[in-house]
Amino acid sequence: MSREAHVRFWERAGVGFPRATRLPLYRQVQGLARQGIAVERSTLAFWVGYAAAELRPLWSLMRADLLGSAKLFVDETKAPVLDPGRGKTKTGYFWALARDDRPWRGTDPPAVIYSYAPGRGAEHAANLLRGFTGIIQTDGYIAYKNVAGRAGAAVTIAHCWAHCRRKFFDIAKAAPAPMADEALRRIAALYAIEAEIRGRSADQRRAVRQERTKPFVTDLKLWFEECLARLSGKSVLAGAIRYALNQWDGLVRFLDDGRIEMDTNAVERSMRPIALNRKNALFAGHDRGAENWAVLASLIETCLCRMRHRAVYAARRTMPIHHALRAVGLNFSAPGSA
């Protein structure tokens, strides 16, 4: 829930929460107590769990809808979870599937779902993407490569230039580094072309990339190899160049497919609410609580997609949830979509 919606909800209930954004349950209990309303945290936790259980079928339909897409962004982030009996937290992970086809005029509206898993291993990535065929765009994490490399897997990986660029940016920020500055300049030239073709069709984007971007990318690889030959193998800059060259096949895949973006910023943005909640709440009470958190966050963030991208949803006139419901024979119109 956005800050504005959250504040309006509690104001209508006669409760003032001046900082109502992403409050964990214990802070909501404290705020209510200051207003003279006694509610146990266990009661709020029950409400949240009950709501998540009721909404899980919708989450499953949204997941099925996303897995039917031609291309998805994928990412994961830490989710501290209380480990009962040990007096400390363990590290779980939220995994995100995001879709944003607006840059190439795709007809499917933006959406995101989160899943919780107790680890970050390849088996969790495989479970997340089970049944998906198409393109996944992600960072260089090996688990996704393992999924794509399995026998019979019809999954293609595209990598992220923003992750590649960040390594050179950090080097240039720490101290004068002419090679890092040059790498940033060359990558910026690629992004400048992307800015010009954003919003064009996939075929148009591919044609421009083949004509204008591909020569820059070819020269960049040659320059990387020349720089690597002159640098100490243990230097931070050499490490940044090796990272780029190791991911090269995935980095250049956008040249041959106009649907692929240069980076994974779409899913990175979707992870920010999770990071804010993690900062405020510190940890989930148990694995089931983290699963509930993922279900509710999926619905909230996808609803916020409609607020952010009104034009896309107006053209389609439905939420992804409603599209998924119709796929199983149910008809539910969004408010104002009739």
Task: Tell me whether residue 6 is exposed, middle or buried, using C-beta atoms within 10 angstroms of its C-beta: 0 to 12, 13 to 18, 19 or more.
Answer: middle
Residues 268 and 252 in one domain: no
Instruction: Tell me how far apart the alpha carbons of residues 75 and 264 are, in angstroms, rounded to a whole number.
Output: 8
pTM: 0.79
Of the ranges 48-62, 110-124, 128-142, 166-180, the best mean pLDDT one: 166-180
Establish if 204 belongs to a structural domain: yes
Residues 154 and 270 in one domain: yes
pLDDT band (50, 70, 90) for residue 337: very low
Residues 145 and 280 in one domain: yes
Residues 269 and 314 in one domain: yes
Do the Cβ atoms of 262 and 104 come closer than 8 Å? no
Establish if 290 belongs to a structural domain: yes
Residues 154 and 66 in one domain: yes
Residues 207 and 295 in one domain: no
Residue-wise pLDDT tens digits, 189-212: 999 999 999 999 999 999 999 999
b/e per residue, 243-280, with b = 16+ CB within 10 A?
ebeebbebbbbbbebbbbbbbbebbbebbebbeebbee
pLDDT band (50, 70, 90) for residue 318: very low
Establish if 275 belongs to a structural domain: yes
Residues 30 and 69 in one domain: no
Instruction: Tell me how far apart the alpha carbons of residues 172 and 178 are, in angstroms, rounded to a whole number.
Output: 8
Residues 154 and 272 in one domain: yes
User: Which sign does the torsion angle of CA 79, 83, 87, 91 carry?
Assistant: negative
Establish if 97 belongs to a structural domain: yes
Asked if pLDDT for residue 121 goes beyond 80, the answer is yes
Establish if 248 belongs to a structural domain: yes
From 76-90, 160-174, 298-312, the region with the lowest mean pLDDT: 298-312
Residues 191 and 120 in one domain: no
- Supply the pLDDT for residue 283: 63
Residue-wise pLDDT tens digits, 70-111: 999 999 988 778 777 676 777 888 899 999 998 999 888 888
Residues 169 and 96 in one domain: no
Residue-wise pLDDT tens digits, 259-300: 999 999 989 888 877 766 666 655 666 778 788 888 988 988
Establish if 77 belongs to a structural domain: yes
The fraction of the chain above a pLDDT of 70, given in percent, is 78
Establish if 333 belongs to a structural domain: no
Domain limits at 23? 3-39
Q: How many domains does the chain have?
A: 3
Residues 180 and 314 in one domain: no
Establish if 125 belongs to a structural domain: yes
Do the Cβ atoms of 243 and 167 come closer than 8 Å? yes
Residues 281 and 238 in one domain: no
Last residue of a domain, one of 234, 256, 278: 256
